[in-house]
Structure 1
C-alpha cells in the first residue's frame, strides 16, 4: 500500500495506491463521512488491479475547503475531474460507493472521455430536490452555515470508543468501524475527534431537480455496474425504481449485506467488480 498526496490548485487530496502501477487506474470514491480506507477490505480481493483510493475534500486526511467555501455536490465532481486531468490519466475506471457513486455518475455524464467503466456500490441515481421546497432548502442551508462555527466535535477517549460511536450510526460490524476510524480521527486534548470538516453536515443550499438528474444519467454512455445491497439504504431501492431505465448500459446485481457491503462482503463484491471490469 503506497500513501499518496495529490496537490490540486485549491487544496490537497490524500489517498493510497495498491497493485500494478502500469495498469489502468481504477479510482475509488467513498461515501459521505467515510474515507479512502472504506475500500481496504475490497482491495484485499483485488490485489491484481491498480486501485487508487482518495479522501474527498473535507474527509479523512485530505484538506478542508477554505473558510469562505462550502461542500457543494457539483464541486466534488470538479475535484475528481481536476485530479484525473492533473495526473494525466487516460480513461479510468471508477468504483464509487454511495455519494462517491453519484459523483462518479455525474463525471461520466459530463466528461465521458475520462471514464471507461463505472461501478456503483449501493448507489444508483442522484439525490434530487423539489422546486416547491427551494425556499426552505436555502433557508435551512443559511441557518446551518450560521451554526457551524459554534459547533463542537465530540471527544472520544480512544479509538475503540470512537469506533463504537461510528458503528452505532451504521449497519456494519465493529471491525469495519475501526477501519474507518483509524483514518478518520485525529488527536486532540482529551483523546480523539473526527477529522472530517464539520461543514459536511450542513444542508446543501441547492439540489438538482429530477429532470436534471434524469438527463445526466441518460448522458452516461459507458457501461455501468450497479451493485445494490439487499439490506442497504431504502433510498437506493426507491431510486432504483425511478432511475434504472435511464442508463444506456446498466448491469444490476443484488448482494446480501447492508449499505457498506464492500466492507462486510468484500469477496463477493470483488468478484462482481472483477468480472465487470475485465470482461
Structure 2
C-alpha cells in the first residue's frame, strides 16, 4: 500500500506597513519558494487544487488586500492596480528576511498581471513567472481619460448605496458563486469557505465592496509595453480556450512583447488551475525543469 502525502494548508500572516495579509503555506520548507497571487474577487483557496499536484514546491498563497481574510484598505483608500504591486513587493521583502532565494510567482488573471508588473520592476526578487489565463496588462486609451475618471467617481458614489448579499449557510453562498462562474459546487465551496464572514445569523462575502469600483485611471499602451518588455525572467502562460474575452485580447496584444515566453492552451475555462489542476501542474513542472531557478 502506497501512502500519498496530502499537503496541509498552514496559516500564515504578514504585517505590511499599513495592513496584514493572511493566507496559507504548503509543501516542504526547503522546497523552491512560490508566491501565489489569486484573481479578482477570488482568494488564496483558489490554489488548493494546484497545491495537491505541486508537492515539491513550497507554496505561499495569500489573500490580496480586501479579499478573503486579509485586511481591507483604510476607509479613505481605494484599490489601484499599482498598489497591488507595492503590497507584493513589501511581502517579498519580508520573505527575503528568511531566504535569499528568488521567488517563483504564480498569478491567475489579475494576479498574473500583478506578477508581470512585479517581475518587470523588481527583477532581482523573481526567478520565474507563471501566468494562469493571464497575459499582459489592462490598458486604457489616452483619449478616454476624462470619461474613465468620471465613471470612477460615479461608481464610488453608487457604492455607498450597495449592500452585500446575505446567505443562510455556506452552501447557499457557494451556489451563488457557482452560478456566475465556470466551475462546480465543490470548487465554489473552496472559495466560499475562505471568502465569507458571519453577519448576525447569516453569511456574506468578506471582499471589500470597493473592489467593484471602476478604476480611476489605467496604464497607457506605451506604459504597459515598457513593463512587459522589461520582464527578464522566463515566463510560462497557460491559457484557457473557454476563458474570458479580456484575457484572450491580452494574449493577442501582448504575448510577443515578453522576452522569454512559453505559451500553452488548455481546453478549459477561466479557473483552469482549479478545474484542471493536473494538466496545469504538468505544464508548470515541465516549464520549471526547462528553466530551473538560478
The Cα of 1:149 is off from its aligned counterpart by 2.9
Superposed structure 1 runs of 4+ greater than 4 Å apart: none
> Equivalents in 2 of 1:169, 1:200: separation in Å?
17
> Equivalents in 2 of 1:239, 1:37: separation in Å?
25
Instruction: Specify the SS of the correspondent of 2:237.
Output: strand
User: Is this contact kept in 2: 1:96–1:104, CA < 8 A?
Assistant: yes
User: Is this contact kept in 1: 2:31–2:56, CA < 8 A?
Assistant: no
Is 1:21 paired with 2:21? no
> Equivalents in 2 of 1:238, 1:133: separation in Å?
19
Corresponding residue for residue 3 of structure 2: none
> Equivalents in 2 of 1:234, 1:198: separation in Å?
24
Corresponding residue for residue 246 of structure 1: 257
From 86, 91, 103, the counterpart of 1:78: 86
User: Is this contact kept in 2: 1:172–1:264, CA < 8 A?
Assistant: yes
Q: What is the TM-score when the length of structure 2 is the normalising length?
A: 0.93
Instruction: Specify the SS of the correspondent of 1:56.
Output: coil
Is 1:168 paired with 2:179? yes
The Cα of 1:24 is off from its aligned counterpart by 2.4
> Equivalents in 2 of 1:48, 1:91: separation in Å?
16
> Equivalents in 2 of 1:246, 1:41: separation in Å?
31
Q: How does 1:109-148 map to 2 (within 5 A)?
A: 109-148=120-159
Instruction: Specify the SS of the correspondent of 2:76.
Output: coil
Give the gaps of 5 or more residues in structure 2: 1-8
> Equivalents in 1 of 2:205, 2:288: separation in Å?
34
Is 1:96 paired with 2:104? no
> Equivalents in 1 of 2:252, 2:56: separation in Å?
35
Q: Deviation digits for residues 35-61 of structure 1, max 9, x if unmatched?
A: 000000111111221000000000000
Is 1:206 paired with 2:246? no
Q: How many residues are matched?
A: 279
User: Is this contact kept in 1: 2:108–2:134, CA < 8 A?
Assistant: yes
> Equivalents in 2 of 1:68, 1:195: separation in Å?
18
> Equivalents in 1 of 2:182, 2:141: separation in Å?
29
The Cα of 1:211 is off from its aligned counterpart by 1.3
> Equivalents in 2 of 1:119, 1:260: separation in Å?
14
Q: What is the TM-score when the length of structure 1 is the normalising length?
A: 0.98
Corresponding residue for residue 68 of structure 1: 76
Corresponding residue for residue 263 of structure 1: 274
> Equivalents in 1 of 2:262, 2:17: separation in Å?
36
User: Is this contact kept in 2: 1:4–1:17, CA < 8 A?
Assistant: yes
From 195, 208, 221, the counterpart of 1:197: 208
> Equivalents in 2 of 1:169, 1:209: separation in Å?
30
> Equivalents in 2 of 1:114, 1:278: separation in Å?
20
The Cα of 1:177 is off from its aligned counterpart by 0.7
> Equivalents in 1 of 2:63, 2:283: separation in Å?
24
The Cα of 1:169 is off from its aligned counterpart by 1.3
Instruction: Specify the SS of the correspondent of 1:208.
Output: coil
Over the aligned positions, Cα root-mean-square deviation in angstroms equals: 1.0
